[in-house]
Every structure is written in structure tokens, then in C-alpha cells.
């Protein structure tokens, strides 16, 4: 082992993580010892882990969340790893938390929603929970509140990042107010730089102005495996990782994600952010979850479409949902199309694939001609 260690360097690539493919073909993010170990240790320290903590890890071990934040975070702090099942199962996760008296729980928003909506949820004693991380996709504010109040994870944190950044770059802190923890993704991690860049000019945006989130520091990948062109598109010459996410940073350094550049809907010249509309739809008591996408329109360029999962036993019509939205947001943000579904097309890591939803919608709504109209 000592001979092997002597041959290794902290900046050697140790792990190739393939991105989940939420917008197309996956690419192999090449990560080093320095990337993943330091990121995991930093998060464990911010979550105040000790050897007394027991971390429930239902996220996949072949993904940076489970492998890095999950495994290595416990290794660096002495915390216990608890694996509920070979793949995510909401019931098995609830059982593991209760039986093993877990103090921390990880997951993407869809995983937490599945647990909260499980018909046997109320049977389990989850009062051992203290903290955890919800990351991987924008989290509806109401879901975060339920995790704090109903799952008893009073110090649960929202994390933001990407596979290419080993993976977390922003995190809310246990000492942050509940408002901060449910409405932002926190502040930048120690030893990491961040900025908001105007996609049109490449200049740093002013405080509170939406733009592309960019990060720089020890956590940025070496590049995409055997893909120099994609690497050059993602990491610029100054070392900034371009996330493709749109966000704002307030005067106190808290980041708010408003959407993805590719997901932003431009309707008649108005820039519309699906996350804002999803938050409104999610407030309806009959809605379990919602996803908003843009679909092509020959006159407006894009129109909004909402895919909605209704709670078990809930009743909701398209007109009722639109009326609910009209009372809460501007008329041009009310989805033109509504589709009720039981589930969304998702990656194996639980992330919604909006590009597939758009393709399916074009076929179902007969929008092929509108989709073929060239745009600038």
C-alpha cells in the first residue's frame, strides 16, 4: 500500500462521473482525489458531523452525491453510513431512518416527495433526524418546509452544484434562518469562488441581476473524458466552470437559482423561468409535484406547459389549476397547456429530463410545424 501511495498524486484523476443526461447525452466528468475528498470533508464540517452521526444514504453510490458527499463525507468525519436498499425505495428509506436512528438524510427533491407522500409515512418515528442535504434539482419551498417540520430534520440544508464540481459549490448553513434555507441554495463553500455572468456580454452581472452561475476553485473537474471540445465549452481559460444555470446572488452572498439557460422559456419576448411557475402550482393543495417546460409556438416562439402529478385522492381539473395560477402570477405566466401524469421521465438518479418531456409534448400536441420554425 505504501508503494502504491508513493505513486499517487492528489491531482491524479480517480473517478469519472458521467453526468445524468437531463439535457442530452451524458459526458464523463473526470474528478481528482483533490476534488472529491476536499468537497466531501468541507460539507461534513459544515453539517457538523461527528462520530455520533448516522447518515442515511439512499442516493446511488455510482453518482457523485452518494459516492462523494455520502461515502467520503462519512469517512472524513467518522460518521456511520446507512444504506436503505440497493436502489431508492421510499418505504425502505423511512424504515432505515426509524430503525437505525439516523441523524442525517440525503436525497434529491423527488426522493423527499416520495417519502412524504408515502401512505405509511405517519407510521415512522423520524425524530432522530437533525440534518441532511437536499440537492440535485430545484427544491419546491413547500417540500423543504415539510422536511423540516414533518421529518424533523430541523437543520437540513439545500445544496447546489453539479457533477463537474465534485459536486457541491453552494450550501445553506444550519445556522441560517428557515427563510434562507427554504428560499435560497445558500452561500459559496470555503475556498471556492463564484460569480454571476451576463450570458450576452460575458461580464459579471450586478448584484441581484440574473445571469449564468460560474464557479472556480479546487472543486472544478479536470475536464470531460476524451472530449476536449466539450471541456473548452464548459471551463473557460480563466478556470471558471460555466454551469448553464441561471441565478442571482444577493448582497449577503446567497444564491437563488431561477432556472437553466436551456430551460428558460422566451414567450413573445418575455423571459420566463419555469421554477417560479412550478413554485406557484405546487402551492395548490391537490398537487404532489409539478414541472413546467416550454413548447414551440409559431406566433409566440414558446408557450408554457405544466406537467402535474396530483396527490393520491386529490381531484383537479385543467381549468381549476389555471384559475389558481391566474390569482397568483401574471397572466402571461399561466401555462397554456396542462398535462396530468403519474410520473415524469427521469434519470436513474431521480432528475427530471425536461428535454424528453418537450419531445413528447411536441408529438402529443401536434406541434411539429412550430418546432421546425427557425429561430435566431
| 199, 338: one domain | no
| 232, 271: one domain | no
Residue 237, domain CATH: 3.40.50.12780
| 148, 277: one domain | no
| 251, 312: one domain | no
3-state secondary structure of 33: helix
In a domain, 376, yes or no: no
Task: Give the chain's residues under pLDDT 50.
Answer: 375-376
Residue 362, domain CATH: 3.30.300.30
Contact between 246 and 257 under an 8 Å Cβ cutoff? The reply is yes
The predicted structure's pLDDT at residue 23: 55
| 140, 276: one domain | no
The predicted structure's pLDDT at residue 20: 60
Contact between 305 and 335 under an 8 Å Cβ cutoff? The reply is yes
How far apart CA 69 and CA 133 sit, in angstroms, is 9
| 272, 255: one domain | no
Rg (CA), the chain: 21
Asked which of 216, 237, 260 is the last residue of a domain, the reply is 260
Residue 25 CB burial class (10 angstroms; 0-12, 13-18, ≥19): exposed
Domain that holds residue 304: 265-371
| 254, 269: one domain | no
CA–chain centroid gap for 164, Å, is 14
In a domain, 209, yes or no: yes
| 177, 197: one domain | yes
The predicted structure's pLDDT at residue 334: 96
Task: Name the DSSP class of 72.
Answer: I
How far apart CA 260 and CA 46 sit, in angstroms, is 27
The predicted structure's pLDDT at residue 331: 93
| 10, 101: one domain | yes
| 29, 115: one domain | yes
Q: Tell me the pTM.
A: 0.83
| 141, 234: one domain | yes
In a domain, 185, yes or no: yes
The predicted structure's pLDDT at residue 376: 44
Asked which of 260, 291, 326 is the last residue of a domain, the reply is 260
pLDDT in tens, 112-129: 999 999 999 999 999 999
In a domain, 167, yes or no: yes
| 290, 357: one domain | yes
Asked which of 222, 245, 260 is the last residue of a domain, the reply is 260
In a domain, 340, yes or no: yes
Contact between 22 and 352 under an 8 Å Cβ cutoff? The reply is yes
- Counting the structural domains of the chain, the total is 2
How far apart CA 63 and CA 70 sit, in angstroms, is 10
Amino acid at each position: 500500500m505504501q508503494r502504491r501511495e508513493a505513486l499517487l498524486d492528489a491531482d491524479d484523476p480517480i473517478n469519472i462521473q458521467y453526468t445524468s443526461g437531463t439535457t442530452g447525452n451524458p459526458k464523463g466528468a473526470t474528478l481528482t482525489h483533490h476534488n472529491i475528498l476536499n468537497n466531501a470533508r468541507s460539507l461534513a464540517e459544515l453539517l457538523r458531523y461527528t462520530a455520533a452521526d448516522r447518515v442515511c444514504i439512499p442516493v446511488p453510490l455510482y453518482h457523485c452525491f452518494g459516492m462523494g458527499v455520502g461515502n467520503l463525507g462519512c469517512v472524513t468525519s467518522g460518521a456511520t453510513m446507512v444504506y436503505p436498499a440497493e436502489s431508492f425505495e421510499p418505504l425502505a428509506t423511512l424504515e432505515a431512518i426509524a430503525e437505525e436512528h439516523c441523524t442525517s438524510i440525503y436525497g434529491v427533491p423527488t426522493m423527499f416527495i416520495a417519502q412524504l407522500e408515502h401512505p405509511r409515512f405517519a407510521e415512522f418515528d423520524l425524530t432522530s433526524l437533525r440534518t441532511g442535504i437536499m440537492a440535485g434539482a430545484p427544491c419546491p419551498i413547500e417540500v423543504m418546509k415539510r422536511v423540516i417540520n414533518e421529518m424533523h430534520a430541523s437543520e437540513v440544508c439545500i445544496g447546489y452544484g453539479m457533477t463537474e464540481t465534485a459536486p457541491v459549490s453552494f450550501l445553506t448553513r444550519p445556522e441560517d434562518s428557515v427563510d434562507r434555507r427554504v428560499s435560497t441554495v445558500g452561500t459559496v463553500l470555503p475556498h471556492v469562488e463564484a460569480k454571476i455572468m451576463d450570458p450576452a456580454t460575458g461580464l459579471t452581472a450586478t448584484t441581484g441581476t440574473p445571469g449564468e452561475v460560474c464557479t472556480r476553485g479546487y472543486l472544478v473537474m479536470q475536464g470531460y473524458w476524451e472530449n476536449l471540445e466539450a471541456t473548452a465549452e464548459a471551463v473557460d481559460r480563466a478556470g471558471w466552470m460555466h454551469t448553464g444555470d441561471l441565478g442571482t446572488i444577493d448582497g449577503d452572498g446567497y444564491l437563488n437559482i431561477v432556472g437553466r439557460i436551456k430551460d428558460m422559456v422566451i414567450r413573445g419576448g418575455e423571459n420566463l423561468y419555469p421554477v417560479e411557475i412550478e413554485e406557484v402550482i405546487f402551492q395548490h393543495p391537490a398537487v404532489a409535484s409539478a414541472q413546467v417546460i416550454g413548447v414551440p409556438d409559431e406566433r409566440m416562439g414558446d408557450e408554457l406547459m405544466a406537467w402535474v402529478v396530483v396527490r393520491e385522492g386529490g381531484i383537479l381539473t385543467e381549468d381549476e389549476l389555471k384559475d389558481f395560477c391566474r390569482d397568483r402570477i401574471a397572466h402571461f405566466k399561466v401555462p397554456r397547456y396542462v398535462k396530468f401524469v403519474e410520473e415524469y421521465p427521469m434519470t436513474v438518479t431521480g432528475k427530471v429530463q425536461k428535454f424528453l418531456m418537450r419531445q413528447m409534448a411536441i408529438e402529443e400536441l401536434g406541434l411539429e410545424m412550430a418546432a421546425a420554425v427557425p429561430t435566431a
